[in-house]
Amino acid sequence: MADIKYAKEWLNYAQDDYDFAVGAQQHFWPKHMAKICYHCQQATEKALKAVIAYNEAVIPKTHNIERLVEECANLNFNVHIDEITASKMTDFATISRYPDEDAECTEADVAIALKCAKSALESVAEYLDKN
């Protein structure tokens, strides 16, 4: 039996990260581009984990978007995130969190991150509403 309540909790957390990223872009631009990308990565990750939670599968403790896309595909949910974007989104999980990482993100990175997160959120919300 599907766990819609738990899945929506994951999706709400994902939405919070996305909202934070959008707010940071609106209020601090062009500062904090790496943090915007980080929160978009988190939104994407948590949205995909919502699909896994819904299907009552074990949620992997990973920030790897490529792996999560594959896990979702195994559950018959196909999100439209290409391999290059998934790899870039995975990189955003750490670049703004640690001083020894290269924390530079470009405007193009921010645009990709925001688009990816928004698409993942919308796709997962639609999936959960249909099921």
Average pLDDT of the chain, as a whole number: 93
Q: With 90 as the cut, is the pLDDT of residue 82 above it?
A: yes
Peptide bond before 60: cis, by omega within 30 degrees of 0? no
Higher pLDDT, 29 or 19: 19
Give the domain CATH number at 97: 1.20.120.330
Q: What are the residues whose beta carbons fall under 8 Å from the beta carbon of 42, sequence distance 6 or more?
A: 14, 17, 93
Overall average pLDDT of the 49-65 stretch: 96
Whether residue 103 contacts residue 96, with contact meaning beta carbons closer than 8 Å, is answered with yes
Overall average pLDDT of the 104-122 stretch: 96
The tally of domains found in the chain comes to 1
Q: Could you list the residue range(s) of the whole structural domain that residue 99 is in?
A: 4-130
The H or E element that residue 24 is part of is helix 4-28
Read off the pLDDT band of 100 (50, 70, 90). Answer: low
Q: What is the pTM of this model?
A: 0.95
Whether residue 82 contacts residue 75, with contact meaning beta carbons closer than 8 Å, is answered with no
Q: What pLDDT sits at residue 102?
A: 58
